[in-house]
Structure 1
């Protein structure tokens, strides 16, 4: 499958999604929207991966490419393609599906717990996943769960952590794709967001997570990605 990544800043790339795609034999290309790359046409990809970034879904005035990106996402959904959205990417997909995106009550930054919703435990893509585990987070906004989507997960700081729409559109507020280098990059480039908060860890706490923490979130991510990609409409 040809996967196209929409990347919004240099320091938030596909991370473990790239490693997963390589092992599964999926071709992966990146559109660097922040650098002037245009969003891809439908003929250019079979599935779409929309990454995070420090901007918000309403920031078209500061980031003119957002409008064209939103059209790309809407077209991909309408065409039956599989989509994966991470953080800002999930918010953009939620907005395309008619849901609101607003400020979260608290910033949520660091390794913090999420739990699967009861209905998600019966969803085949979640079969065997831990009901509760620590995920990596870095966000100040949130999405509402789109109408018709299955609410997959919540956390103490944000009740909208993940959703699944038509079995092929996955929105993740948390960063299950994180690797040590991507966390280090966030700590460097977004250090201004690390003022003390109820759900904000220090850079040192985030960067000293043990290998087992990454192994767990990657196992969860890979199971979800496999399920979503398998439901997409091939070209």
Structure 2
């Protein structure tokens, strides 16, 4: 499996996604756009495209952020989808998937930063890739937007603060508004990049401060993510044979 990561900022690291790649013996490549690394010219040489989060939105322009080209990323995502590749978007990445498929992102009802529960929808509870999450699972969050929905999209999980936490766009394409890739190391990077922001968000219902963020255990969530990714790979390999 050839897994390509689009990394928007140094503090939005692949975390548990990259751990999974390494432990499974897969091949990882990266477009660290914050370091001006180029996107792949096409999707031909990848099997799974993982588009990570960032402080941008799909509406952010090149004038506002010179290293983030939302249009180019959406074109690559669309090409990967049309080529039958597996695609996973995280936070901003999930919103970009929606935009690439013609569904504009929206603003979440609540800002969420920290570890809070998501609940599987009726469809999520019967979905073969996420049913093992259990009806309720505590996961990582760091967002204030959410992905758009195509006519074919299915919401597999939501939270009290955001109704669109996991979206299935197709059997090979998934958007995770939540951050199941968080590890202690990734959270430390985010805290360091967001100290001023966090200090100004003390009145929000679903925002944890640094001490609480550091106390969270992400291991169960990571293991659930690994199983999801294994199931996604199995689906992709089956589709590739047909």
TM-score range, shorter chain: over 0.9
Runs of at least 5 residues in structure 2 that lack an aligned partner in the other structure: none
Matching residue within 60, 63, 66 for 2:65: 63
Indicate the SS of the match to 2:84: coil
Asked if 2 retains the 8 angstrom alpha-carbon contact of 1:150 and 1:163, the reply is yes
Q: TM-score, normalised by structure 1?
A: 0.93
Matching residue within 151, 158, 162 for 1:158: 162
Q: Could you report, residue by residue, the CA deviation over 1:60-99 in whole angstroms, capped at 9, with x for unpaired residues? A: 2323522211111111111110011111111101111222
Q: C-alpha separation between the residues in 1 aligned to 2:185 and 2:70? A: 26
Aligned ranges 1:135-154 → 2 under 5 Å: 135-154=139-158
Q: Could you report, residue by residue, the CA deviation over 1:129-188 in whole angstroms, capped at 9, with x for unpaired residues? A: 211021110001112333212211000000000011221111100100000010011111
Asked if 2 retains the 8 angstrom alpha-carbon contact of 1:15 and 1:177, the reply is yes
Q: Which has the higher relative contact order, 1 or 2, with Cα contacts under 8 A spaced 6 or more apart? A: 1
Q: C-alpha separation between the residues in 1 aligned to 2:240 and 2:180? A: 25
Indicate the SS of the match to 2:44: helix
Asked if 2 retains the 8 angstrom alpha-carbon contact of 1:46 and 1:234, the reply is no
Q: TM-score, normalised by structure 2?
A: 0.91
**Distance apart, 1:220 and its partner CA:** 1.6
**CA-based RMSD:** 1.6
Instruction: Kindly indicate whether residue 48 of structure 2 is the aligned counterpart of residue 44 of structure 1.
Output: no
Indicate the SS of the match to 2:124: helix
Runs of at least 5 residues in structure 1 that lack an aligned partner in the other structure: none
Specify the alignment match of 1:226 in structure 2: 230
Matching residue within 203, 209, 212 for 2:210: 203
Matching residue within 89, 111, 121 for 1:117: 121
Q: C-alpha separation between the residues in 2 aligned to 1:14 and 1:56? A: 18
Number of residue pairs the alignment of both structures matches: 232
Q: C-alpha separation between the residues in 1 aligned to 2:106 and 2:131? A: 31
Q: Which runs of 4+ in 1 moved over 3 A?
A: none
